[in-house]
Amino acid sequence: MFVRLGMHDERPGGLTLSPACWTASQLVAGGAALIDVSGGLAGSDDPGRGPGYFVGYAEALKGVVDVPVLVAGGIADPRMADLIVRSRRADIVGIGGRCWRTRTGRAPRPRRSVRPDGGASEAP
């Protein structure tokens, strides 16, 4: 089971660190095999702290779960991603959004998508 634990997207009223740690531990106890610490569920964007703004959250969650923790949040530099993993602050780094921006600032439309059965299909 994959679980995306959307923190509070740096917005008021969202899931904060203490309840997120408890939730992650319960999800793992229920069978989750990966915890994804990222934003975007409430339209989040860089809160002004620069790249890697969810790394501290991922590091805290790693302290309470025994499954891999993925972190995202403005990370586009592969050296930064490497440092995050080597320093064991997260196990996996998601870098998609920042790397796939076009010159217009928008992400390109995917040409293919993956179906739940594992096959690929052309995007609509």
Give the pLDDT score at 117: 52
Give the pLDDT score at 15: 73
Q: What is the pTM of this model?
A: 0.70
Q: Name the residue type at position 7.
A: M
Q: Which residues pair with 4 in a beta bridge?
A: 36
Q: Whole-angstrom Cα distance, residue 63 to residue 3?
A: 17
Neighbours of 20 (CB within 10 A): 21
pLDDT one digit per residue (tens) for the chain, 124 residues: 555 555 555 566 667 788 889 989 999 999 999 998 887 655 555 556 678 888 998 999 999 999 999 998 888 888 999 999 999 999 999 876 655 555 565 655 554 444 445 444 444 4
Give the pLDDT score at 86: 95
